[in-house]
Structure 1
């Protein structure tokens, strides 16, 4: 076999292997617990360093119309 033909077979086999690996990952069955897993943020009341929000200042009075 020539060098070019050997390189072609090698690269072709590598490409087929990579595609087969991607297909295997796509169609792999996932455990039900992992599918339903979602990140839930901790509640603010449970956080020890949470501060209460500052009060909203009153809006400034509008200037009197002349």
Structure 2
């Protein structure tokens, strides 16, 4: 069985804003990924991969087990 991870854009953006990341650039910098990667994920052009997810969890200080 295959599983798909989908980004809840509204929750992601709300979390980013709560940490003071007001732009795609500031989100990408905090996540240590390319700005284009964040933009493409937010635009739905790219599914978030493991690096993106791990980077977001780290930048937003979320624990994941």
Look at both structures and tell me which one has the larger radius of gyration over its CA atoms.
1
TM-score (norm 1): 0.20
TM-score (norm 2): 0.21
Larger relative contact order (C-alpha < 8 A, sep ≥ 6)?
Answer: 2
